[in-house]
Amino acid sequence: MVSTKAIRTALYSALNVSAVTSLLPSGSAGLVHGVAPPTALYPICLFQEQASTSTLRMGGNAFDSDLWVVKGISKATSASLAEDIDNAVRTLLDFGTLSITGGTLMHMARESGVSYAETSGEIQYRHHGSLYRVVVQT
């Protein structure tokens, strides 16, 4: 089994390129794993694991299949900035490559989209992104 940390680190490296960071006011500091800090400058690109399954064969782990969400989040009444981030990420990750410590990427592709809005007091947040299947041989 490849650690979640190894995949998280590989995803961060893949996302930490100008195609994505140029859309974030704080650059690579706008690439956030899990939960945005209260001081985050929006828009941000947030990523986190949603699910993980291991496939066992002949007494050992053959491969892991993880589902990761990667999304743009804007603090606006329009989803436009979050959609721009999603488009940049999709170009990189859909059938893209990752260098994962301790494993070999077998497959990575977009499975479905994610799009919703939420409010906190008077502030509107727009989420727009995708779920990516990441299959790693151990």
pLDDT in tens, 37-65: 999 999 999 999 998 877 766 666 677 89
User: What is the span of the domain harbouring residue 104?
Assistant: 4-137
Mean pLDDT computed over 2-24: 96
What is the token pair recorded at 81?
């900035």
Number of folded domains that form the chain: 1
CATH number of the domain bearing residue 48: 3.30.2000.20
Please give the model's pTM, rounded to 2 decimal places: 0.91
**Interatomic CA distance for residues 48 and 50, integer angstroms:** 6
Q: What is the spatial distance between Cα 1 and Cα 117, in angstroms, rounded to a whole number?
A: 35
* DSSP code string of 21-46: HTTSTTGGGGEEESS--TTPPSSEEE
Q: Which pLDDT band holds residue 15 (cuts at 50, 70, 90)? A: very high
Residue whose C-alpha is closest to residue 10's, from 51, 61, 55, 68: 68
Residue 6: pLDDT above 90? yes
Which of 53, 77, 73 has its CA nearest to residue 64? 53
Residue 61 near residue 115 (C-beta atoms within 8 A): no
Per-residue pLDDT, 56: 60
pLDDT tens readout for residues 84-127: 999 999 999 999 999 999 889 999 999 999 999 999 999 999 99
The whole-angstrom separation of Cα 16 and Cα 94 is 16
* Structure token pair of residue 128: 């727009």
- State the pLDDT at residue 25: 97
pLDDT at 137 over 90: no
pLDDT at residue 35, as a whole number: 95
**Average pLDDT score over residue span 127-132:** 98
pLDDT at 116: 97
